[in-house]
Structure 1
Amino acid sequence: MYKEILIAGEDKKTIDNLRYILNKDAYKIDCVFTNRELFKKIKNKEYDLVILEKEIDNIDGIEICKAIRDFSTVPIIVLSKCNKDMSKILALEHGADDYLVKPFNISELKARMKTIFRRMEYKTTIRPKHSLKIDNFTINFLKKIISIKDKDINFTGKEFDLFYVLSSNPGKIFTRQELLDEVWGYEHYGDVRTVDIHIRRIREKIEKTTDKTKYIETKWGEGYYFNNINLIS
């Protein structure tokens, strides 16, 4: 089945070129040029991917990512002229799945898109079709919802995947690279700092304090692990 992609930005020439190229690969493309159109589209239609330019309507793409993550877990690739590490880190920290510096090779963009699609397909095939209880947590694989004491936690897609990998292997220490490969599904484009960012965001949502963690622990010099809590299927 074809993938549906939403491309958003102000650079009409770039967007039209992307639409033409990706249409040839049998992707179904929608394009928007304002934030209002962007949010309306995402709320009214389920997309497989959003390709987002760094700035729309004079609003920074990081703020746009944050706003999208308030109501959607759709994968997002940010396109930006800024190649500073901090810009990339902030984009990833606030909900982007990937970050590509302009000008870019279209083949690289396609490769990153396919990586995201493989990850999404992989996670739907390996997960059991039921919910899993872990201490105070309930993981609903069908709805992709994690709740603690019956209160739903707003996780992004990658946060959900990362929590699942760690919690379903209690006590096992994962290196950052192993988590990057397991959750993001790629090696060449990965930045291990992405893992640290997502771990911190998960801790902020599930721990009473990030200074004294109860669930996701750090093994200094090695990686992360989930505390060996009794599992209930």
Structure 2
Amino acid sequence: MCEKKILLIEDDKDIAELVALHLSNLGYEVECVNNFTEGMKRSLENHYLLILLDLMLPDGDGLDICHKLRREKIQTPIVMLTAKTEEIDKVLGLESGADDYISKPFSIREFIARIKAIIRRSAISIIENEEDIFQFDELVINIFKRKVTIHDNPIELTKKEFELLYFLAKNKGVTYSREKLLNIIWGYEYSGYDHTVNSHINRLRAKIEQTPNKPKFILTSWGVGYKFNDEL
């Protein structure tokens, strides 16, 4: 059972103890490991409500764990923790399939609020209707199975690619700015990370559009953002 179990992969003992204490006080069971090897092993072998992952571990890069889990289709929410605050690190974290990114040092109040928001969004995404199937000509999106097909051929999407496609399709015809999409899909309110949204849109188009530079499904509203074609 994983309803209340959180995996914390963090080599800083003081931070690990502080985070574990506050999460335990909220009723969560926290498993702590302090290295890449054990973190990778547990995250692949067990089921968790959430994984808290330090970017810089003594024997490996936390991003590699994130990449591996997403390649294995493990959709457990991942929050990355790191003292590296450069923008490129934040973009890399988001594009690796992580659900959020928290820079050290952080206040416990903000940390707990962000964790609760991630868990809440994750719970909402699981509660899907089995009959939620969207079809737009040759494109079919099965929400319950998190499956996308083109001409009955399965399309491999990452977690965030699927969520982005589903959100736009569900609200077809509505134009969303890059900042709004970043906030809705990734939970970020920061500006300056347009590259994250743009790169996901480009990858989606490469996978679902017959001619990506002349898209049929995901359209660009120049100077505004993106929308799903409401004429389908």
Q: 1:121: how far off?
A: 2.7
* 1:18-74 CA distance string (max 9 Å, x none): 212211111121222333322332233222211100122443233332222101222
Structure 2 counterpart of 1:40: 41
Q: 1:87: how far off?
A: 1.0
Structure 2 counterpart of 1:49: 50
Q: Is the aligned partner of 1:202 residue 2:204?
A: yes
C-alpha distance in 2 between matches for 1:190 and 1:152? 34
Q: Is the aligned partner of 1:14 residue 2:15?
A: yes
Go from structure 1 to structure 2 and tell me whether the alpha carbon gap of 1:25 and 1:206 turns closer, same or farther (over 3 Å shift): same
Go from structure 1 to structure 2 and tell me whether the alpha carbon gap of 1:33 and 1:167 turns closer, same or farther (over 3 Å shift): same
Q: Matched residue of 1:23: which SS?
A: helix
C-alpha distance in 1 between matches for 2:181 and 2:61? 29
CA contact (8 A) 2:6 2:48 kept: yes
Structure 1 counterpart of 2:173: 171
CA contact (8 A) 1:79 1:99 kept: yes
Q: 1:229: how far off?
A: 5.3
Go from structure 1 to structure 2 and tell me whether the alpha carbon gap of 1:59 and 1:149 turns closer, same or farther (over 3 Å shift): farther
Unaligned runs of 5+ in 2: none
Q: Which amino acid aligns with 2:161?
A: E
Structure 2 counterpart of 1:115: 117
CA contact (8 A) 1:2 1:26 kept: no
TM-score, normalisation: structure 1 = 0.83
Q: Which amino acid aligns with 1:172?
A: V
Q: Matched residue of 2:110: which SS?
A: helix
Q: 1:86 aligns with which of 85, 88, 99?
A: 88
TM-score, normalisation: structure 2 = 0.84
Structure 1 counterpart of 2:223: 221
Q: Which amino acid aligns with 1:92?
A: L
Q: Matched residue of 2:144: which SS?
A: coil
Q: 1:180: how far off?
A: 3.6
C-alpha distance in 2 between matches for 1:65 and 1:8? 12
Q: Which amino acid aligns with 1:96?
A: A
* 1:112-162 CA distance string (max 9 Å, x none): 11111222233344x432233233233222222223333433333332221
Aligned residues: 228
Unaligned runs of 5+ in 1: none
Structure 1 counterpart of 2:105: 103
Structure 2 counterpart of 1:30: 31
Go from structure 1 to structure 2 and tell me whether the alpha carbon gap of 1:169 and 1:150 turns closer, same or farther (over 3 Å shift): same
Equivalences for residues 172-191 of structure 1 within 5 A: 172-184=174-186, 186=187, 188=189
Q: 1:165: how far off?
A: 1.3
